[in-house]
Amino acid sequence: MKIGIVCYPTFGGSGVVATELGKALADRGHQVHFVTYNQPVRLDFFSENLFYHEVAVSKYPLFEYPPYELALASRLVDVVRFEKLDVLHVHYAIPHASAAYMAKQILATYGINIPFITTLHGTDITLVGNDRTYKPVVTFSINQSDGVTSVSEHLKQDTYKFFDIEKDIKVITNFIDLKRFNHTPKEHFKKAIAPEGEKILVHTSNFRRVKRTADVISIFAKVNAVIPSKLLMVGDGQDRPECEQMARDLGVSHNVRFLGKQDAVEEIMSVSDLFLMPSQSESFGLAALEAMACHVPVISTNAGGLPELNVEGYTGFLRDVGDVDGMAERAIYILEDEARLQQFKENALTHARKFDLANILPEYENFYMQVIENSKRV
């Protein structure tokens, strides 16, 4: 198949999922065309089946808000026509689904029928999409999609709850490439971070409000008071300065390292003992799955789709949003007993295998074929 993928090219989960999916489809012999405003961060190698088409937004002085959605729709028209794509797959509803809809209508005037699939990732539904500023457009463009997928059952239910959706939503969960994300401990790296054999806790995110990164620091301070430990904070975003200040205020800054945005997350995960995800909301929690694939158990909240990923008492523990004491207490429970920690690590990997790319990729391929077939009948 010839597949067009639209996504945010950043470190965010939806962009990572879209890019990893595109790379895997190209490996399987499909031709994959990324259409976005920058080279996606994980699109870091050459393949004869991978193509990147940049969306350039003209910045005429009249435009206080340059119209990216129009530029994207125009680029999609161009790429579909000249690369003869079979299907478009847009990740994150805003503004990708409405741009795809517009491109589809324009292409119809050229006699081209292109189906498009929208994958809902989370905040496009739970935060931004549900805002009245965007709601009518999001509702419309989901309903006009030829196929809709969601990354968890919980997100699917939220979508039906918040919007008037007439479409079937197919759950295709996020996935992990276990060939890349596996446990390859770098002893010298571990020694540099935890020279006395301290336990290593880790958090990765975009440090947005929804991630409650301040809770990560509070949980760590409680754990650190009982268990010799270090905390790695991976990523960057608006709440990072607050976290740095909190670490100082709580007297743990010498045990916390802010690593910024990192490409080789799997190397950091591989030296870690416990992943912290105290999010306010999380449709799936891809970062937690990346940790689990590297044998790292997870302490998380029970928000959104997290209970579909993190299994209470098996891969880690889940507590209510804001229950810092409860999450710290469970973290200590896992870390204080070496045999118990090892068991949780094994369980984390066992469970992560259920989300192996090899299992999920055929679900997408079958869905593409089904949507393409259906659209030929209309």
**CA angle 128–132–136, rounded 5-degree value:** 95
Minimum CB distance to ligand GMT smaller for 26 or for 172 = 172
* Cβ 305 to ligand GMT shortest distance, Å: 7
* Cβ 198 to ligand GMT shortest distance, Å: 29
Closest-CA residue to 314 (of 328, 325, 302, 298)? 298
Site for ligand GMT, residues 344 to 363, rule: CB under 6 A: none
* Close Cβ partners of 377 (under 8 Å, ≥ 6 residues apart): none
Q: How many residues bind ligand GMT (CB under 6 A)?
A: 20
Site for ligand GMT, residues 281 to 340, rule: CB under 6 A: 281-286
Minimum CB distance to ligand GMT smaller for 31 or for 174 = 174
Determine contact, residues 290/269, Cβ cutoff 8 Å. yes
* Cβ 236 to ligand GMT shortest distance, Å: 13
Site for ligand GMT, residues 195 to 224, rule: CB under 6 A: 206, 208, 210
* Cβ 90 to ligand GMT shortest distance, Å: 12
**Which of the ranges 10-18, 77-85, 107-115, 265-273 carries the binding residues for ligand GMT, by CB under 6 A?**
10-18
Minimum CB distance to ligand GMT smaller for 12 or for 278 = 12
In the set 3, 6, 17, 324, which binds ligand GMT (CB under 6 A)? 17
What x/- string results for residues 253 through 292 when contact with ligand GMT is judged by CB under 6 A?
Answer: ----------------------------xxxxxx------
Determine contact, residues 53/76, Cβ cutoff 8 Å. no
* Cβ 156 to ligand GMT shortest distance, Å: 13
* Alpha-carbon separation of residue 6 from 3, 35, 76, 274, 282 (angstroms): 10, 5, 9, 33, 22
SS3 category, 195? coil
Report d(CA 327, CA 295) in Å as an integer: 19
- Residue number with the smallest Cβ distance to ligand GMT: 122
Q: Which long-range contacts (CB under 8 A, 24 or more apart) does 343-347 make?
A: 344/297, 344/314, 344/315, 344/316, 345/273, 345/295, 345/296, 345/297, 346/295, 347/297, 347/311, 347/314, 347/315
For residue 92, state whether it binds ligand GMT (rule: CB under 6 A). yes
Minimum CB distance to ligand GMT smaller for 12 or for 115 = 12
What x/- string results for residues 101 through 130 when contact with ligand GMT is judged by CB under 6 A?
Answer: --------------------xxx-------
* Cβ 339 to ligand GMT shortest distance, Å: 31
* Cβ 370 to ligand GMT shortest distance, Å: 21
Minimum CB distance to ligand GMT smaller for 33 or for 211 = 211
Residue 135: phi and psi, rounded to 5, are -50, -50
Closest-CA residue to 30 (of 372, 376, 365, 375)? 365
Closest-CA residue to 203 (of 233, 164, 166, 225)? 233
**Which of the ranges 13-21, 163-171, 217-225, 257-265 carries the binding residues for ligand GMT, by CB under 6 A?**
13-21
Minimum CB distance to ligand GMT smaller for 172 or for 201 = 172
Q: Which DSSP letter does residue 315 get?
A: T
Closest-CA residue to 277 (of 242, 337, 327)? 327
Minimum CB distance to ligand GMT smaller for 81 or for 208 = 208
Helix (H) or strand (E) holding 75: helix 68-83
For residue 151, state whether it binds ligand GMT (rule: CB under 6 A). yes
Buried b (16+ CB within 10 A) or exposed e, 115-145: bbbbbbbbbbbbebbbeeebeebbbebbbbb
Interface with ligand GMT (CB under 6 A):
12-15, 17, 92, 121-123, 151, 174, 206, 208, 210, 281-286
